[in-house]
Amino acid sequence: MASTYGFNFGFRVSDETRRGSEGRFRTPQTGAPLLIGTAVEIDPGNPGFLRPCAANRPLIPGISGLLVQEEQFDLSIFESPYVDSFDLGVAKLGRLSVITYGEGVKVWFKNTPANNTRPNRPLPAVNIANVTGLNLGDQLGWDGTRWAASATEKWMTVSAVNPAAGYFEGVLVR
């Protein structure tokens, strides 16, 4: 089943027989909100919370994986009464999330330019992947801030790529 989490991440194949979703952990309570699809791991220094993975961390099922937060529509009375596609791609601070992994799960990522066309709602540029020079079959890992070609820690294999559009699809390796 395909699904979209905002402008920058989604699933192409998310069969529950392949996909694991570990626990219900909270995103960090402070700092910049994380993008859905970021590589995260359980934070050993802060029980019950996630943190972004450091560069070249291995994918360890049950410990690390892709960030997914499925309750973006759960708004408090203090939040904006509307949610748009950009909001769906950003994890709320301090909210419950899951670590997703699973061999054969197919995902997509897309970089997006800044957008100032809506009054009072400028959207920042998002660079979730380094697609420059990517080819079909390349192995990707997390470089600490985005997905990039990796010679060491391999999280996924590129199954489609369009560098001009800032887009790629990948299949998780475990």
Over residues 33-88, the pLDDT tens digits come to 999 999 999 999 999 999 999 999 999 999 999 999 866 555 555 656 555 545 56
* φ and ψ of 139, to 5 deg: -100, 135
Over residues 17-31, the pLDDT tens digits come to 788 888 889 999 999
Q: Is the pLDDT of residue 108 over 80?
A: yes
Q: What is the pLDDT of residue 80?
A: 61
Question: For tokens 């909270």, what's the residue?
Answer: 26
Query: How many other CB atoms are found less than 10 A from the CB of residue 46?
Result: 13
CA–CA separation, 39 vs 48, rounded Å? Answer: 17
CA–CA separation, 22 vs 43, rounded Å? Answer: 13
Which burial class, exposed, middle or buried, applies to 37 when counting CB atoms under 10 A from its CB (0-12, 13-18, 19+)?
buried
Which residues is 18 bridged to in the sheet? Answer: none
Query: How many other CB atoms are found less than 10 A from the CB of residue 47?
Result: 8
Tokens matching residue 12: 């192409």
Q: What is the pLDDT of residue 78?
A: 62
Question: For tokens 């009054």, what's the residue?
Answer: 119
Q: What is the pLDDT of residue 124?
A: 86
Give whole-number Cα distances, 106 to 3, 12, 155, 166, in Å.
11, 5, 11, 17
Domain positions in the chain are 3-172
Q: Is the pLDDT of residue 134 over 50?
A: yes
Q: How confident is the model at residue 1 (pLDDT cuts 50, 70, 90)?
A: very low
CA–CA separation, 139 vs 156, rounded Å? Answer: 6
Q: What is the pLDDT of residue 81?
A: 55
